Amino acid sequence: MTKLELRQIDVELSGVKEESGDLLVSGYVNQTGQWSQPLGRENRFIERIESGAFTRALERGNDVHFLAEHDNAKLLASTKNGSLQLREDDKGLYMEARISPTSYGKDYHQLIQDGLLTNMSFGMQVTEQRWDKRDDGTYKRTISDLHLAEVSVVRNQAYRLVRLK
């Protein structure tokens, strides 16, 4: 199986609230069709996710986790138990999460609510891609299919298009 790749995006969580004791967050994980910031250490490239790639990934029915900082020990929500809802719309991959009220779940919800964590990220394994070279020598990767493993709230991002609220 291919290596898990992590991508961060500066997004807006449009709904950060506590309702009836539930710790809720919602917002975009990625805007499809938008180019990333330059990635890679030696061989620099930019990439974008094609519209429909997330829909295909979600239709496979794999359990996707909402994590803090890509840390598997800090599970905040999951599609398996319905606490994480993901869908792709005409803008991109949208999430709604009911964070588990563990000690770190409460801490991360507060950090998001206070505006201290405003970035989202996702972990994927690319299954279909196309590479092109621009006139300036930069490579461009267009991802048309992927396996979505997780989404995370993080400090640093690769895609700077929207922010968590």
CA distances from 34 to 30, 89, 107, 158 (A): 9, 14, 31, 11
Residue ranges per domain, the chain?
A: 5-35+61-126+148-160
Residue 72 is predicted with a pLDDT of 95
Q: Which residues of 51-61 are buried (b: 16+ CB within 10 A; e: fewer)?
A: eebbebbbeee
Give the pLDDT score at 137. Answer: 83
Alpha helices in the chain (DSSP H): 53-59, 103-113
Q: What local confidence, expressed as pLDDT, does residue 68 receive? A: 94
Tens-binned pLDDT, residue by residue, of the chain (165 aa): 567 666 655 555 555 666 667 899 999 999 999 998 888 888 889 999 999 999 999 999 999 999 999 999 999 999 999 999 999 999 999 999 999 999 999 999 999 999 888 888 899 999 999 999 988 888 999 999 999 999 999 886 655 554 454
Residue 98: per-residue pLDDT: 97
Strand order across the beta sheet in which 17-19 lies: 17-19, 22-31, 92-99, 84-88
> What pLDDT is attached to residue 36?
87
Give the C-alpha distances (Å, rounded to integers) separating 30 from 52, 53, 54, 55, 114: 12, 11, 10, 12, 22
Tokens describing residue 31 = 């805007």
Decide if 151 contacts 121 (C-beta within 8 A).
Answer: yes
pLDDT score, position 155: 81
